[in-house]
């Protein structure tokens, strides 16, 4: 819009300047760039998706990917980069160290706490530990690609496969898969937490957003029904 306005008035666009380009690049890095048109997965839909994970090793992996990706509000690239050495246990759950997050330019890392769930069937920590035990993973990548025989490889799952896993289980619950991807886990946590009444600060702490601006989009969408004037009418 800025470039077009300058063009109409016969001026050279300032958006071509190095300083402006660099500033815009920095803002995109800090604010994040959510997948266009992708919807958040609400927690009730996540539970339905989990119920379709088969009782196989690959099914257990998928369940762990969905739960850890969701409760950790991880970008898919951060999710697949998690190594065994990045996880520490506590009495309350686990802490995951994200070593090179998208906005971590100094590579100092960021710690994300994931608490035990109330329901053992949908507990992210118990599910992760079950996957690691069943797959006999004691070092290296936590989430692995699988062979055709259904056994884990030594290589990490690709970030593209995170999106495929999300789409696969969205299809099982009759969701339009084109509207969902890996980012739906991250935005889903933010949206569902906002609906449940979590504070902006606590959501931001989990998602790792440097700026509150993008995060508030999810919170604003979450409050559309919770604070809806029409719901006060006796219709």
**C-alpha closest to that of 99 among 118, 80, 125:** 80
- The per-residue DSSP string of 141-163 comes to BSSEEE-TTS-EEEEEPPHHHHH
Q: How far apart are CA 25 and CA 135, in angstroms?
A: 41
**122 phi-psi bin (left φ>0, alpha ψ -120 to 50, beta other):** alpha
SS3 181: coil
The whole-angstrom distance between residue 75's C-alpha and the CA centroid of its chain comes to 5
Q: Is the Cα dihedral 42, 170, 207, 65 positive or negative?
A: positive
164 contacts 182 by C-beta, under 8 angstroms: no
Cα(235)–Cα(232) distance, rounded to whole angstroms? 9
Which tokens is 235 given?
């219709």
Which residues are within 8 A (CB) of 60 and not within 5 positions of it... i.e. 6 or more apart?
53, 127, 130, 131, 134, 135
- What are the angstrom distances between the C-alpha of 111 and each of 73, 149, 193? 12, 35, 19
Residues annotated as catalytic (active site), given as ranges:
75, 102, 183, 186, 209, 218
């Amino acid at each position: 819009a800025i470039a077009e306005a300058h063009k109409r008035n016969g001026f050279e666009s300032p958006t071509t300047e190095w300083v402006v380009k660099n500033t815009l690049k920095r803002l995109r890095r800090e604010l994040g760039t959510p997948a266009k048109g992708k919807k958040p997965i609400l927690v009730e839909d996540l539970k339905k998706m989990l119920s379709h994970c088969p009782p196989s090793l690959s099914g257990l992996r998928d369940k762990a990917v969905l739960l850890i990706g969701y409760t950790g509000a991880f970008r898919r690239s951060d999710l697949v980069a998690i190594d065994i050495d990045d996880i520490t246990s506590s009495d309350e759950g686990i802490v995951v160290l994200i070593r090179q997050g998208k906005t971590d330019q100094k590579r100092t890392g960021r710690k994300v706490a994931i608490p035990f769930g109330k329901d053992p069937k949908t507990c992210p920590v118990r599910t992760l530990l079950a996957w690691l035990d069943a797959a006999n993973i004691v070092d290296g990548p936590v989430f692995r690609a699988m062979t055709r025989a259904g056994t884990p490889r030594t290589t990490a799952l690709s970030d593209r496969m995170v999106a495929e896993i999300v789409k696969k289980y969205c299809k099982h619950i009759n969701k339009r898969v084109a509207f969902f991807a890996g980012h739906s886990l991250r935005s889903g946590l933010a949206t569902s937490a906002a609906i449940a009444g979590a504070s902006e600060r606590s959501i931001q702490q989990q998602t790792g957003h440097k700026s509150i601006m993008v995060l508030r989009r999810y919170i604003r969408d979450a409050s559309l029904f919770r604070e809806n004037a029409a719901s006060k009418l006796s219709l």
